[in-house]
Amino acid sequence: MKADPNMADEDVNISDLVKDIVIYGSPDTVAQKIEAMRERSGTFGTLLLAVMDGEGANEAGERQTMTLLANEVLPKINSLVRV
């Protein structure tokens, strides 16, 4: 999970991990980050969305996230994939 495999374990911190690994932001930013990840890693078939609980206080925000991913991010990513 380190950005640089040669980095000492004790130099790894949560802020850097979130910055380097977690994809978040506007639909355009998320699409750009997914495409950049795809360029680094190669193609992949599944994108995993992590949600807190899918109901309760977080329900509206999590539904909005899923809706934006499905309706705005996914079409942008699919348009980049050549079949």
**For 57-70, what is the mean pLDDT?**
90
Instruction: Residue 69: count other Cβ atoms within 10 Å of its Cβ.
Output: 17
The number of domains in the chain is: 1
The answer to whether residue 2 is domain-embedded is no
The answer to whether residue 3 is domain-embedded is no
The answer to whether residue 38 is domain-embedded is yes
The percentage of residues in the chain with a pLDDT greater than 90, rounded to a whole number, is: 24
**Position 74 pLDDT exceeds 70:** yes
Residues 1, 22: Cα–Cα separation, whole Å: 11
The answer to whether residue 65 is domain-embedded is yes
Residue 15 belongs to domain spanning? 9-80
Instruction: Determine the distance from the C-alpha atom of residue 66 to the mean position of all C-alpha atoms in its chain, rounded to a whole number.
Output: 12
**DSSP alpha helices (H): ranges in 11-71?**
14-21, 27-41, 59-68
Q: How confident is the model at residue 70 (pLDDT cuts 50, 70, 90)?
A: very high
Structure pTM?
0.73
